[in-house]
Amino acid sequence: MKARPEFRDRPAVEVAVLDALVDRNEDGMTVFELRSHAEVSIHDLEDALESLKADGLIEVEESGNRTVIRADERVIPETTADTDETSFFEELRERLPF
């Protein structure tokens, strides 16, 4: 699943982070899990997380000895048939050079 379309006009690293978090929002992700899913350098990930946190698009919480990051609820798309169509067109738009 991908982040809502209104949050996809951000830098590519931030969009990759949001997409990874939306996919695993119930459990959340650690920084190391995010880094492997978003496939970005730790420096780029730190910058993206800082920006997303400042804009209120992610939530960070301590869970025992782990720091878990989740996407804010407004970033997560509703699960409807329309979302599947939008996702298809969003993916097509991303792949084609317009």
Q: What is the pLDDT of residue 86?
A: 58
Q: What is the pLDDT of residue 29?
A: 92
Residue type, 83: T
Close Cβ partners of 19 (under 8 Å, ≥ 6 residues apart): 1, 2, 3, 38
Say which CATH number the domain at 67 has: 1.10.10.10
Q: How confident is the model at residue 39 (pLDDT cuts 50, 70, 90)?
A: confident
| Mean pLDDT in residue range 25-50 | 90
Domain count, the chain: 1
Q: Which domain covers residue 80, as residue numbers?
A: 5-95
Q: What is the pLDDT of residue 52?
A: 95
pTM given for the model = 0.75
List Cα–Cα distances, 48 to 1, 3, 82, 87, 88, in angstroms.
19, 15, 29, 23, 25
Residue carrying the six token digits 């959340």: 28
Quick: pLDDT tens for 41-90. 899 999 999 999 999 999 999 978 889 999 999 999 886 444 455 567 77
Q: How many CB atoms lie within 10 A of CB 98?
A: 4
Q: What is the pLDDT of residue 98?
A: 60
